[in-house]
Amino acid sequence: MERLYSPWRSQYIETYDKMEGCFLCEAAKHPEEDEKRLVLYRGEKAFIIMNLFPYNAGHLMVVPYKHTGDFLQLDMETLCEISKLTQLSIKALKIALKPDGFNLGYNLGRVAGAGLEDHIHEHIVPRWNGDTNFMPVLADVRVISQDLREIYKKLKKTINQIEGEDVE
């Protein structure tokens, strides 16, 4: 029998119920630590951050600076910027990682799968043909095929290159 190890998952599992404060608010407050906290881009009302515990390689989140778990509390400017940053994220992922598709969405409330209920965020999960396999179903294991920090460097460079362009 082969064993696959994903030690980064144990950090999440062991600290899940012990987390104090909001890691997204902490990331927002510390621009000098963007690389450490995996923040790729900062807008006026929202920012793009990589998921430290991804569902797939390149899993990003677009996060409003406003700490709220209620989607209805977001103003129109924030909603528009989230959409703009979603487009920027998709464009960067297409260039840097060349996925075949994407899953986009919010998990609003614990029953909907929200790991962090009090600070909403949109997930952008790149997908590739053939990336669905038996591991998550049978073994409750997800195989991430690329290093998180290498993906960060690649996406940061790509976003910096397209930052001045209009997002189509």
Active site residues: 121
CA 45/CA 52 separation, integer angstroms:
22
Burial class (CB in 10 A: 0-12, 13-18, 19+), 110: exposed
CA 111/CA 99 separation, integer angstroms:
29
C-beta of residue 154 within 8 angstroms of C-beta of residue 97 = yes
In the chain the first and final C-alpha atoms are separated, in Å, by 48
| DSSP designation for 167 | P
Q: What are the structure tokens assigned to 60, written together? A: 């990003």
